[in-house]
Amino acid sequence: MRRQETGARRHFDRLVSWALLIGTFVFSMTLAETALRWFLPQKLSINVSQWDPDVGFSLRPNAVGFSETPEYVMHVSVNSHGLRDAEYGYAKPPHTFRVGVFGDSFTFGEGVEAEAAYPKLLERYLNRDAPALGSTVRVEVLNFGIGKTGTSHQYAWYRKEGRKYGLDLVILGFLAGNDFEDNWGGVYRLKNNVLVHNPTSYSSIRKLQRVVQEIPLYDWAVSHSHLVNLARAGATILDDRIRTQAGRSANGEDGDLVEGRKLELTLRLIEAFRDQALTDQSRFLFVNLPGKGQQVVAQYGQSQEIPPHILSCAAVLNHLRTSGVDVLDLVPTFAKLPTETHYFVHDGHMTVTGHRVVARELAHYIGPIIAPSYPEAVAKSGL
């Protein structure tokens, strides 16, 4: 009897210990969550990206959720093929001009609804203008944008998925402020002056992410918990550092040569992207998207130091134009516009107003490709 009582007592003590441990953990997490909400609120955001063995990371098919910051609430819906867009079949419908837009979070439309991002606005403008142009062609513009990517990932994404759609025009949205750096830690390397696809050296953080995403209630947690999103932000910072270090290890770390190597790698990626699109019988357009406050080189005074990425961007534009690549540089257009109405103050992404400017400039550039009479029709009707 005493042995039974002793065993029962030990069992009870274990239960109490576990209850206290769990209670302490729950209390600590609740306290931390409350403190963060009050003193260091985090961006509440659905995790829309996943590890991709070819691209590094891509959007999670069928992901649905939202991102919330003090500046905006953005709803996100990803289709079954990993695009922030409606469902599209690979086969292009008859009498359709199909455009694919590749880029990072600016193209994805961070901060705005999917229909307010410039790819979908472009689609709307071109189809709305069609009757005035005498065009019977339906335009489809597919948004292939993925946040935190560079040309390296976007080229890999085109080769894996984009070229399946029979695109008539491929648009590459380039952001000088981070694309040179993202390419340095991307999924392509230059070895003996040859581009080598090497995603296996990519950060293991993204591989771990796929495991974490299988945890029950994970999507709910990232949409509601500031503590979980603080951990995600830390993992993102670590992921960026690992990717950058991988780029340095593979491409070299000589401080005097790094900027030149980033430029060389980026140029080769753009040219490879262009060549692949042309091989697939698609036209190719390079669009230089302006970051918040970005200026053209001529606007910098003699006493101002021109940032390296601005100089590299100017070199890219000059090289591409000399090489006969179609280029649309939107930096001069935005340099004349008020920053506060076209970009979020703290987040730095474009507002709906900024996306409208990009879409309208693109529509004016692309219109003549679809209908030769476009410039005259625009001038006459004021479209």
Per DSSP, the chain holds a count of helices (H) and strands (E) of: 14, 12
- The answer on pLDDT for 159 being more than 70 is yes
* 240-268 pLDDT tens trace: 676 666 655 555 555 557 789 999 999 99
Least reliable range by pLDDT among 37-51, 103-117, 118-132? 37-51
Give the pLDDT confidence score for residue 3 in this predicted structure.
Answer: 56
The DSSP-derived string for 3-32 is HHHHHHHHHHHHHHHHHHHHHHHHHHHHHH
Q: Which two tokens stand for residue 111?
A: 């901060």
Per-residue burial over 287-312, b if 16 or more Cβ lie within 10 Å, else e, is bbbbbbebbeeeeeeeeeeeeebbeb
Give the pLDDT confidence score for residue 383 in this predicted structure.
Answer: 45
Q: Who's near 238: CB < 8 A, 6+ residues apart?
A: 205
Q: Are 172 and 97 in contact (CB under 8 A)?
A: no
Alpha carbons 306 and 315: distance in angstroms, whole number: 13
Give the pLDDT confidence score for residue 335 in this predicted structure.
Answer: 93
Strands (E), the chain: 44-45, 49-52, 56-59, 64-68, 73-77, 96-102, 138-143, 169-175, 188-191, 194-197, 283-289, 326-329
Q: Is the pTM of this model over 0.95?
A: no
Average pLDDT estimate for 287-292: 97
* 212-222 pLDDT tens trace: 777 777 777 77
Pick the more confident residue, 371 or 184: 184
**CATH number for domain 41-381, candidates 3.40.50.1110, 1.10.10.10, 3.40.1010.10, 3.30.70.980:** 3.40.50.1110
Q: What are phi and psi of 99, to 5 degrees?
A: -115, 135
Q: Residues for the chain: how many in total?
A: 383
Q: Is 176 helix (H, G, I), strand (E, B) or coil?
A: helix
Give the pLDDT confidence score for residue 103 in this predicted structure.
Answer: 98
Give the pLDDT confidence score for residue 373 in this predicted structure.
Answer: 58
Alpha carbons 274 and 268: distance in angstroms, whole number: 10
Give the pLDDT confidence score for residue 241 in this predicted structure.
Answer: 72
Alpha carbons 53 and 233: distance in angstroms, whole number: 22
